[in-house]
Chain A
């Protein structure tokens, strides 16, 4: 066992687990910190207690991958220092502050691998704060972890591969899915034919989901412009426009999202340099092909480093682990590095195709009405952000936050920043990369006051 280095891995999803396994195999004992009570990340999330459902029921076509990842974690469990249910809320001077329940502690590291994953990218639509509206990821968690549908009659809205996957999982589990409303035009899906060469099994699976949804009587609509989610105290229906005509469907739940956004706060606190990713329309930490950031000894892997999906996360986690070993002067398998980099490059090429098939709804920022809530924590309207940009000449996101409180609430911009960027950029006639990015602030998520006080004293 090598005691010379003490790496810390944040996140126990596909990237974090493969990174940990790579270090353990080299005789290194990493600390692994994860917010969830058990490993697997969001995609391979485990139930709190076992129930009658099989891995196949839970993870569908990805069951074998989920089982393999959970088994790997069980095998390395005694050779890592694992802190589940623990939030890393601050990071400075080669150490993190981590809180488990009410207890905070400071953990020093020699190297850091950030595998912090992603959350849904959401764009406000009228009615998006109503009870019964959940993100696509949230809808999936309700089903997988909790065995619940988000309502009696569910509509899924948005874009991205997750839209079809979640709808299909709901139908398979016996939920009533009334419609899948895709904001991308049908013509965009022809890009997937190019994807058939890159990742045939993934594309064919997507086609199968869509075909089975239609076979189950689910209305699948393309080129949808969401108009509003109706309801006074909870969801009662959804209204959208399609080829100039307005449509309404009664429903009691809406699951929606527009692809994903990376969780990058810790990389920001670590001092990593960021770069604008035009495909993801978001800032992400700069990294080389191995996951090295601009800060020596800090690595990043998985969706927290830019959206690439679970398969890429496993590969990138292993790749970052090997880079760390190499940099620490420990033996790293260079043949394996070549294999990983080729596979990752192939997935990156495929992600470009997926982005063409599920394009970002660029018209959203100009068409969304002034009275729609932009920031759901602080309840700031789209019009307030536009007014600040126009009347006070604001063209930078942190200035907008200071003046309007957009992104200042409890979620710290996780739910609104993607939208705020688009609104600000469109109002001041700039591109999204030219309005800056929200600076991360510790604590990166809310923690009990007494914990914060203790952390300050430490």
Chain B
């Protein structure tokens, strides 16, 4: 279930991407964090306890919003712009 609630920007073009293999869409101008948290309520599990995390500062400081890309890379969701056909995975294993 979504964490963030869209209040505006409803008319911007859809941007298709996949999240954990499922087809999803965000809006042009979304960050990866917004695109994921408008359909899900977590971005990763914490490194040690495995508790769910969904970002915190949204300005690239807290480092709590890392997600994986299909090519094995990691991106900071809050400071990465959503691009069409991105393949994203939330971190579902602690210490991954």
Give me the interface of A with B, judged by CB distance under 8 Å. Answer: 35-37, 42, 47-49, 51-53, 57, 119-120, 129-135, 137-139, 141-143, 145-152, 173-175, 233-234, 252-253, 263, 376-379, 409-411, 414-415, 445-446
Contacts and interface: CB of A to CB of B under 8 A. Distances in A.
Contact of B34 (A129, A131, A148, A234): A148
Contact of A137 (B12, B34, B59): B59
Contacts of A138: 55-59, 78
B51 interface: yes
A148 B12 contact: no
Contact of B9 (A36, A146, A152, A233): A146
19 contacts: A119-B61, A129-B51, A131-B42, A131-B52, A134-B55, A134-B58, A135-B56, A138-B59, A148-B38, A149-B5, A149-B7, A150-B4, A150-B5, A151-B4, A175-B5, A234-B3, A378-B47, A379-B46, A410-B63
Size bracket of the B interface: 35 or more
A133 B56 CA distance: 7
Given A379-B46, A415-B56, A131 B41 contact: yes
A234 B3 CA distance: 9
B29 A47 contact: yes
Interface string B64-87: 100000000000001101000000
B76 to A, nearest CB: 8
Contacts of A148: 4-7, 34, 38
Contacts of B96: none
A129 B8 contact: no
B11 A52 contact: yes
B59 A233 contact: no
Contact of A376 (B4, B56, B59): B56
Contact of B41 (A134, A146, A234, A376): A234
B24 interface: no
B31 interface: yes
B53 A142 contact: no
B7 A143 contact: yes
A399 to B, nearest CB: 22
Given A51-B12, A131-B54, A138-B58, A37 B81 contact: yes
A412 to B, nearest CB: 8
Contacts of B81: 37, 48
Contact of A152 (B5, B46, B56): B5
Given A131-B52, A150-B4, 18 more contacts: A36-B79, A49-B28, A51-B12, A119-B61, A134-B56, A137-B57, A141-B59, A146-B4, A146-B9, A146-B30, A147-B7, A147-B8, A148-B5, A148-B34, A233-B52, A376-B62, A377-B64, A415-B56
